[in-house]
Amino acid sequence: ETGVTQTPRHLVMGMTNKKSLKCEQHLGHNAMYWYKQSAKKPLELMFVYSLEERVENNSVPSRFSPECPNSSHLFLHLHTLQPEDSALYLCASSQDLPGQWTNYGYTFGSGTRLTVV
């Protein structure tokens, strides 16, 4: 356990379903991130929250909707996904705020393996 917990670990959903991914950290970190990892591709940054405020949205389709109700929790709400959205979704947190040179690095969760059928 790294300090960042993601649930569920695996998720299979139909294209018409609505589901949510959850990420939780109790490390006292200030920033939280959603990344997408597709096969044979680098991790892609999707969303960044700093002090519970969204600071970045990397042109992610609106069928992905993030929510950060407090500094310890981050959600990714999913609806009407496409099969190409099947991937590993990783949550990460960092103590430093985005844009600051970091001395502390990032802590990643174990990811949610999403399959869209």
- Does residue 113 interact with other proteins by CB under 8 A? yes
- Does residue 75 interact with other proteins by CB under 8 A? no
Nearer to other proteins, 39 or 69 (CB): 39
What's the Cα-to-Cα distance from 26 to each of 20, 29, 69, 79, rounded to whole Å?
A: 20, 8, 14, 28
**Which region among 22-30, 42-50, 59-67, 71-79 touches other proteins (by CB under 8 A)?**
42-50
Cα distance between residue 115 and residue 92, in whole Å: 21
Burial class (CB in 10 A: 0-12, 13-18, 19+), 34: buried
> At closest approach, how far in Å is the CB of 84 from other proteins?
18
- Does residue 27 interact with other proteins by CB under 8 A? no
Q: Please name every residue paired with 31 in a beta bridge, in sequence order, or none if there are none.
A: 50, 94
Cα distance between residue 70 and residue 52, in whole Å: 6
> At closest approach, how far in Å is the CB of 19 from other proteins?
18
Which residues 43-62 are close enough to bind other proteins by CB under 8 A? 43, 45
Please give the backbone phi and psi of residue 104, each rounded to the nearest 5 degrees, phi first. -115, -15
> Which residues of the chain form contacts with other proteins (CB under 8 A)?
2, 37, 40-43, 45, 88, 90, 92, 98-99, 101-111, 113
